[in-house]
Amino acid sequence: MSSEEEMSQTSSASSSSSNLSTSHFIGKKEDIVKAGRVTKLVNGCRDVLVVHHQGQLYAMDVHCYHSGGALQYGDIEEFNGQLCIVCPWHKYKITLAEGESLYQAVDDPTAKPLRTYWRSKGVKQRVHKVTEVNGDVYVTLNDSGEAIESDVYQTEKYRRASVKAKPKAKPKT
């Protein structure tokens, strides 16, 4: 472990005792790494997806801001140098780190060949802070007072709907 990682671990550990009231235990890091993704109802009010990808942990609201798609089933891909989760319902691309929605834009649709580039719609998905302390993973909910589109899907109505919509396991052949 580098001294920078040790400092990060130490600062996380020292601040964790004062933040335990706002930090919520998600699970053991080794279990999350093995699973790749976990979902959890945090603080009785927020469905959160925690993703382990390329050695990093990310947390965001589990339902896509666009139509409530289950992001835990989305692929992770890189667009314009940013890691994104791709909603399995409508292929919306959401950055893991910031919760920005990315799309391909065209300056001049009459120009041939078309030249596209990636643009941001801004932050649409609420992301949350992930902290690791001694192998335990905690999430601190983003309590920004500003409304974010994914907030719409943080109700009991959508929790019940997502339980019904879980994909069935494929039979082994």
Beta bridge partners of 49: 39, 60
pLDDT of residue 13: 37
Mention every residue, 6+ apart, whose C-beta is less than 8 A from residue 77: 83, 84, 86, 93
pTM: 0.79
pLDDT lower than 50: segments of the chain: 1-20, 168-169, 173
Residue ranges per structural domain of the chain: 23-147
pLDDT of residue 158: 76
pLDDT of residue 121: 97
Q: How far apart are CA 159 and CA 149, in angstroms?
A: 16
Q: Which CATH fold topology does 23-147 show?
A: Rieske Iron-sulfur Protein (2.102.10)
CA atoms within 13 A on the CB side of 136: 13
Q: How far apart are CA 155 and CA 173, in angstroms?
A: 38
pLDDT of residue 144: 87
Q: Are 116 and 107 in contact (CB under 8 A)?
A: no
Specify the amino acid at residue 70. Answer: A
Tell me the backbone φ, ψ of residue 170, rounded to 5 degrees: -80, 135
Question: What is the per-residue pLDDT across 115-163, written as a single tens digit (0 to 9) for each?
Answer: 999 999 999 999 999 999 999 999 999 988 899 999 999 988 777 665 5
Q: Are 103 and 14 in contact (CB under 8 A)?
A: no
pLDDT of residue 156: 81
From residue 61, alpha-carbon distances to 23, 26, 120, 163, 168 in Å are: 16, 14, 19, 15, 22
